[in-house]
Structure 1
Amino acid sequence: MANRQRREPHTVTYDELTGADEEYERQILNEQRKLTETSRKLTSQVGATSLDRILSSQSSSFLEELQLETTFSVIIAGEFNAGKSTLINALLGKKLLESGALPTTDSITIVASSSSSSSSTVKDDDGDKDSPSATAASTNDVSTSLGVIVHSVSTLPLLDDLTLIDTPGTNSAWMDHTEQTLRLLPAADLILFVTSADRPFSDSERDLLQSIQAYHKNIVVVINKMDILDTSGGDHGAVQKKDVLDFVIDKSSELLGARPVVIPISARNALSSKLIQSSSASSSLSTVWDQSNFAALETFLKETLTTKAKIKSKLSNPLGVTEGVMTQCLDVLKEQEEELKIDVATLNIFRSQFEGWKKELAADLILSQKTMTNMVQEEGHRCDILLSRMNFYNYHYWTLFETNRLEEEWVETKREVSIHRQHDEDLKADLMEHVLETAESVATRGRAQGQAVIEYLGKRPAVRNNQSLVGSVTIVSSFEDTRKNLVERLSNAADDILNTGPDKTIEREHLDKDQLFRSLKHSALLSSSLQVGALSSGGLLAFQMIDPIVGWVSLSSLLFGGGASYAMGKARICQWYKEQWSRRAHHLNKALDAITNKEVEKVSRRILDGVAPYTRFVETEQERICDLQEQCQTIASASRNLRNRIDKLR
């Protein structure tokens, strides 16, 4: 037996593969390689980790190590014990590969022509170099990095320009067999999909065929072990064989979307015929060979795999894989998009609720501002109340002679305007109470809203590839500073309205009262003077000390002037007092509005900053998915166009 020896891989050039040096084909080859590399990079961006196996099978390093990059590869795939190894032995006409009821092929096995590896040296059992007969046998070279067995043979003309690859059977007790097969299939230029006549198209075979149909591979379905059905009826089980053939055609057409080439054979009978062909030429041998239908498979391979067909297949097969990978990438992106829709909806709900919260808080603050400004404005009614308590006589007497009584009446007016307040007779204390309530409300509601947002969004953390959290919501900090700022600024605004002077210690109420009393006194003096003048004119007229006409004119004028002075003085003084407090109420309202709006905006920003990582993630992911979808569609379209150009090659 020949010793196994490591041989250096023979690199086949593009010219050796095509047999021609055509610039157009070179251009297509370069475009194909660029698309393949671009799709590989894009897939890593998509995050489709399940496609790593497919991409690695298309990588130059993997294909070079298997010696498949520039050779036409025919991969034999199927379930274990379907007769894949026997089929290869039948093609070779010798028992090169082990076969049996148990899974005998436990690694990828490559059968290639020895003419492509003339540099290898194989020794026989005695250590001498191979004789011609030894070369015609085979050599086994084991690739240690991939665990691949390579057989070099020189007995099959078919192998001069192609390579046969036997894959471990799927659905065996060893799960890695299926993984090895699935990894290699995308690299195939032609797939002989082998199923057994005694169990055609099992579940694992359907899954395997479905997993590779997306890559636009050339697939030939081979029904092996047809000889098992020879005893199932007359004419060597012809009816049963036809049923199996029709069943496989229907199922494979359904899975592949088009009717594939289906060839029924008996690899065992074909191998037996070839093994004894040299020593026997009996008619029975010919019958066994004819019944094996193996000639149909060999004829198909020879007639179909022309040089031009191999060139086109070698150029287009990677494009089929690219399109399949892009389709799967789009599926992955669609899943990510569907997953992200929940985050998008969550974010939209948060934004809607947050805007509602802001409007509700703003409405409450407006009501609070209105309450405080009304308190200030109500102060302007005290003059009306005071004057309504005084008749013509009291107006003049209290103002001119009973100032203490006027003070008492003034105090009573405060009680009337403060009937709805919390602190009787103390506007400042009442305003401060509302200031504290407003500040506490903003701080408390801001804190509650922030915590509610955290709790709500925390139930829906953004995830990527089911691995790590992205854009987790941060904890909203304490709102105690909000309360303090509001209390300080609102208190200052109230002080500015109520107090004056450099140190804000002089109450405007006292200043207004003093000026009011002075104005009342001046008005009362004027009115009294006119009334006294009228009395004097009346006395003079009564004693006929003046001309009657002059007396009556003077009397009427003074009476009218005194009454008018009294009425107009009261109205003017009341209007002045109201305007004083109306202006203050207006200024207070503007100050409160500016202060509360600014603090509410700070609270809003604090909450939004807390969820900013989550928001950024959702928005960034939307852009990423959309951009990757466009790139995948562009690559798939370019690949289809290039494949159409390859199909038109003559």
Structure 2
Amino acid sequence: MLRNLLDQQQADLLQKERALLEDLRVTLARLDATPEDQRRLTLALRQLEELFLLVIVGEFNAGKSAFINALLGQKLLAEGVTPTTNRINVLRYGAEQSQTLREEDVLVLTLPVAWLQEINVVDTPGTNAVIQRHQEITEDFVPRSDLVLFITSADRPFSESERTFLSRIRDWGKKVVIVINKIDIFEQEDDIQQITQFVEDNAQTLLGVRPQIFPVSARLAQKAKTVTGVERTALWQASRFGPLEEFILSTLDQRQRVRLKLENPLGVAARLQEQYQATTQARITLLTEDFRTIDTIDSQLGAYEEDMRHDFKYQLSHVDNVLHEMSARGMEFFDDTVRVARVFDLVNTSKVKGEFEEKVIANAVQEIETQVGELIDWLVERDFKQWQGVMDYLNRRAEQHQDRIVGQLGGQFEFNRRELLASVGRAAREVVAGYDRIGEARQLADSVQMAVAQTAIAEVGALGLGTVLVVILHTTLADVSGVLAAGAVAALGLYILPTRRRKAKADLKTKMETLRGNLAASLSTEFEQELSRSVRRIREAMAPYTRFVRSERTKLSEIESHLLQAASDLRALRAQVQEL
């Protein structure tokens, strides 16, 4: 459409429409709209600058080519009972008649016909073409039209394929004028009226509006334009082509064409806005379910941590009980040993140490090692089962929605989402499949041993946990034995034994409490570190998926807002255009 043909009001509306469609194009690009839909919007924008586009559609034997030939007043297009139009024919004005193949399926014909200076006409293959490509190129060209002339045949009006195609035209928001061709097959006026009423009623039901309908005979109109005199007049009146020709060439004036030209992209934009609004809402709904997936796993991890800490106290109590029982045996040992009746035994330090090891330490070292080993195995097993739980949940989540998702939303969004969800599942499966329980337990045991040793002695080397405990307990024994040293007993006299016994018991209690505290602290520290590592690994595996869901939700919420605003702006602009 040339700008110098527009008045100021029309030019302002054109500018607003271009800006609105450009914004919508950017929004659809952010939404990864299909290349085909983005191309349609681009073409709609481009055609705002072109001449009025009249697209003629209908079944292959409805007489479309004959109708155009009658309109042109010359037999330019081939006619026949089989599909004769196998591409889009674009008729434009030219000083000389010519043909140019612009695209594989678009043939541009230039003709020295005056009214083509303001209107371009498009002849399409049949809507019921046997060749699928013919059907596709016809349906592809409809969104570009400013006005659709739908040709139906009087001998088979409003067929099922025509209903289907008209519904698609309606979805694009196009103005449709229906032409009932071949009325010359009827001899009675009542038959023509009945067919016209039938088409009108069905079209109104389908389109939601009562369209303009022109019953004509293109064959008689063509013939009328080739003869003169009375015969011409009779044929022209019988063809009823005059009112339709008047509508196209005169009634459809400049202002009406401008209005339809401006309405065309708005219909395309409204269709795409509605389509991608639904897509956006579907994606947001899907992401809401993804958020629930993330929240569920977060809740599971929170419950896992809480349960683990609770159960750890129970597991740790087994170790603590061993030391508590050993401490009780130590108290009993001092009550039995540090008394006057055994004063000569006390002089034999090695004997006292031997009894202490036998009666107090006993098998405590082995029991502690066993309990710590069981605690480590328990921790490793729970970590493994947590990974299994995450993996199983994600697998169920993916399978639950796979059939509904694939092929419906599509685009990069769905590819990224499914890939990230699958990557978390793969990470969980890889951890579960390659989980080395023995190696994990050994590594954790070494860490516990080192932590325990560093709280008690300076150097450990390659000592095992049991050896470390023996060293610690013997250090405790040496400290207690110093209190009971024979020299001290001899020097101070037997009356000091009760004091020494109390001192030995107090020192043992202090040493054992320190040992219990250090061992519990070391095990607790290692437990917390391992628990944090376990949860962190799961969260790190989830991180890309989580980031995608959150960022997409933010982006889609913004896009949804833009699309809703676009819908409002399109309605307002369409109302202004319709007032022209």
- Residue 398 in 1 paired to residue 342 in 2? yes
- Work out the number of aligned pairs and report it: 546
Greater CA deviation, 367-376 or 243-252? 243-252
1:223 lines up with 2:180 in the alignment = yes
Is 1:255–2:183 an aligned residue pair?
Answer: no
Matched residue, 2:568: 637
Give the 3 Å change call, closer, same or farther, for CA 481–387 of structure 1 in structure 2.
Answer: closer
Task: Specify whether residues 53 and 259 from structure 1 end up closer, same or farther in structure 2 by C-alpha distance, changes over 3 A only.
Answer: farther
Is residue 2:129 matched to residue 1:172?
A: yes
Question: Which of 235, 241, 245 is 1:298 aligned to?
Answer: 245
Kept in 2: contact 1:168–1:181 (CA 8 A) = yes
Deviation at residue 360 of structure 1 after TM alignment: 3.6
The one of 367, 377, 389 aligned to 1:430:
367
2:196 corresponding residue in structure 1 = 245
Greater CA drift, 342-351 or 432-441: 342-351
Distance in 1, Cα, partners of 2:153 & 2:29: 38
Match of 1:602 in 2: 533
Secondary structure of the structure 2 residue equivalent to 1:103: coil
What TM-score does the superposition give when structure 2 sets the normalisation length? 0.81
TM-superposition CA deviations, 1:127-165 (whole Å, max 9, x none): xxxxxxxxxxxx23223435433344445x644422222
Q: Aligned match of 2:25 in 18, 40, 54?
A: 40
Q: Is the 8 A contact 2:100 2:109 kept in 1?
A: no
- Residues 396 and 253 (structure 1 numbering): CA distance in 2 closer, same or farther, change over 3 Å? farther
Identity %: 28
| Aligned equivalents of 2:159, 2:502: Cα separation in 1 | 106
Picking from 238, 253, 263, the partner of 1:316 is 263
Secondary structure in structure 2 of the residue aligned to 1:193: strand
Residues 67-216 of structure 1 aligned to structure 2 (within 5 Å)? 69-113=49-93, 117-118=94-95, 122=96, 139-154=97-112, 158-216=115-173
Structure 1 residue identity aligned to 2:72: L
Distance 1:217 1:524, change over 3 A: farther
Closer, same or farther in 2 for the Cα pair 1:252/1:353, shift >3 Å? farther
Q: CA deviation at 1:502?
A: 6.3
Provide the rounded CA distance (Å) in 1 between the counterparts of 2:291 and 2:481. 65
Of 4, 16, 35, which aligns to 1:31? Answer: 16
Q: Matches of 1:85 and 1:208 in 2, distance apart? A: 19
**For the residues of structure 1 that align with 2:102 and 2:247, how far apart are their CA atoms?**
35
**CA gap 1:258/1:272 in 2 versus in 1, 3 angstroms:** same
- The one-character-per-residue Cα deviations of 1:198-234 (angstroms, maximum 9, x if unpaired) are 3333332222222232332222122223333x25xxx
Residue 572 of structure 2 corresponds to residue 646 of structure 1: no
**Is residue 319–residue 371 contact of structure 2 (8 Å, CA) maintained in 1?**
yes
**Residue 493 of structure 1: which of 423, 448, 451 is its match?**
451
Q: What's the offset of the Cα at 1:604? A: 2.0
Tell me if the contact between 2:55 and 2:149 (Cα under 8 Å) persists in the aligned partners. yes
1:402 to 1:346, Cα distance in 2 relative to 1, 3 A: closer
* 1:333-356 deviations in Å (ceiling 9; x for gaps): 344445555544544443343444
| Equivalent residue, structure 2, for 1:54 | 40
Over aligned residues, Cα RMSD in angstroms? Answer: 3.7
Cα 1:641–1:397, aligned 2, differ >3 Å: closer, same or farther? same
For the pair shown, the structure with the greater C-alpha radius of gyration is 1
Cα distance in structure 1, aligned partners of 2:490 and 2:530: 47
SS in 1 for 2:76: coil
2:465 corresponds to which residue? none
Paired with 1:103 and 1:341, the residues of 2 have a C-alpha distance of 51
User: 1 CA distance for matches of 2:306 and 2:192?
Assistant: 79
> CA–CA distance in 1 between the matches of 2:347 and 2:506?
22
Query: How has the CA–CA distance of structure 1 residues 352 and 262 changed in structure 2, closer, same or farther, with 3 Å as cutoff?
Result: farther
Seen in structure 2, the aligned counterparts of structure 1 residues 241 and 335 have a Cα distance that, compared at 3 Å, is: farther
**1:542 aligned partner:** none
Contact 1:370–1:589 (8 Å) recurs in 2: no
The residue identity in structure 1 corresponding to 2:318 is: T
Partner SS, residue 313 of structure 1: helix
Check conservation: 2:345, 2:352, Cα contact below 8 A. Answer: no
Greater helix fraction, Structure 1 or Structure 2: 2
Given the superposition, is the C-alpha separation of residues 259 and 371 from structure 1 closer, same or farther in structure 2, using an over 3 Å criterion? farther
Taking the aligned partners of 2:347 and 2:493, their CA distance within structure 1 comes to 17
Distance (whole Å) between structure 2 residues aligned to residue 197 and residue 242 of structure 1: 11
* Structure 1, unaligned runs of 5 or more: 1-11, 123-138, 416-424, 530-564
Say if 2:521 is the partner of 1:590.
yes
Partner of residue 477, structure 2: 510
Q: Calculate the TM-score normalised by the size of structure 1.
A: 0.73
Matching residue's letter, 2:265: P
Whichever residue aligns with residue 27 of structure 2, its letter is L
Q: Displacement, 1:597?
A: 0.6
